[in-house]
Each structure stands twice: as C-alpha cells, then as structure tokens.
Amino acid sequence: MRNEPSKAPLLLMEQMIMVLVFALAAGICIQAFALAEKKSRGIQQRDEAVCLAQTCGEIVKSSEGDITKTEKALKEAGFQVKVRGSKIQAGRDDSYLIHMNIQEETEKIGKAQVSVENRKEERLYGITVKWQEDSHE
C-alpha cells in the first residue's frame, strides 16, 4: 500500500481564501443595504415634507401673507401654530416642523419662505411662494 499525501490541507486553504473573499463581498453588500435603507427613509421624509410645504404654501398664499388669517387657516387645517413676528412655526405631530417667514418683496408682491425640518432639525425641503398683494377677493 502506497502512502499518498492528503489533499485536505490544500482544500482547506482554498476554502479559507474563498471565505475571506466572501466576507469582504458580504461586508460591501451589507454597507450597500444600509445605505439604500437610509436613502429610502430620506426620500420618504422628503415626500412628506413636500406635501407639508405645499399645504402651508397654499395657505399662506390664500391668506395673502396676513399673519392672523394664516394662523387661523393653519389651525383649521389641523396644525399647531406658534407666531413670532412675521415668522410662523407649525406642526401636526412631533415628526416635522414647518417654518414660514413672510416678507414683502415689492410693494405689490408678497413673498414667504416655507421650509420643513425633521425632528433632528435637518432641513428636508423648502419653497418660496409669492402672491400679488392687491388682488381682490
């Protein structure tokens, strides 16, 4: 009977290299999954922010920048509102905070900056709305 050398150590080494390559690839994949998850959450938050900004922008515009009218309309639309001068803060729940800064661009054009933040105070979305000051009802 001849004494042949075992091939197992060679196989073992090959498999260990295989596992190492796999571990590297798996690490990259998991990072990609985590990034995709983060992006998806970000997009969902931005979608919400766009809707909120649109709603608040329409309310400011329809009130022609009148702080009292805007505050009343926001409350009617289910927002909790805080007013500081020409700045209005609104929110429906704790998730998002909407800032509205009402300004006068020219004598006939009113302007408001509407921006939406998440609870970490990161700005998600912002729009500028304008209206004609002397339009009739």
| Residues forming the site for another protein (CB under 8 A) | 3, 6, 8-9, 11-12, 15-16, 18-19, 22-23, 26, 29-30, 33, 36-37, 40-41, 43-44, 47, 51, 54-55, 58-59, 61-62, 73, 76-78, 132, 134-137
Minimum CB–partner distance for residue 62 and another protein (Å): 4
Q: Is the Cβ of residue 117 or residue 129 nearer to another protein in the bound state?
A: 129
Q: Is 125:118 a contact under the CB 8 Å cutoff?
A: no
Measured from the CB atom, is 99 or 129 closer to another protein?
Answer: 129
Q: Give the nearest distance from C-beta 112 to another protein in angstroms.
A: 13
Taking the least distance from each CB to another protein, the nearer of 20 and 119 is 20
Integer Cα distance of 110 and 23 in angstroms: 59
Non-local CB neighbours of 48 within 8 Å, separated by 6+ positions:
95, 96, 124
Beta bridge partners of 90: 81, 98
Shortest separation between residue 28's beta carbon and another protein, angstroms: 11
Strand-strand pairing, 109-118 and 123-132: antiparallel
State in angstroms the smallest separation of the CB of 39 from another protein: 9
> Closest approach of Cβ 14 to another protein, in Å?
9
Q: Is 54 exposed, middle or buried (0-12, 13-18, 19+ CB in 10 A)?
A: middle
Residue 36 amino acid letter? A
In DSSP terms, 118 is beta-bridged to 96
Residue placing its CB nearer to another protein in the complex, 24 or 103: 24
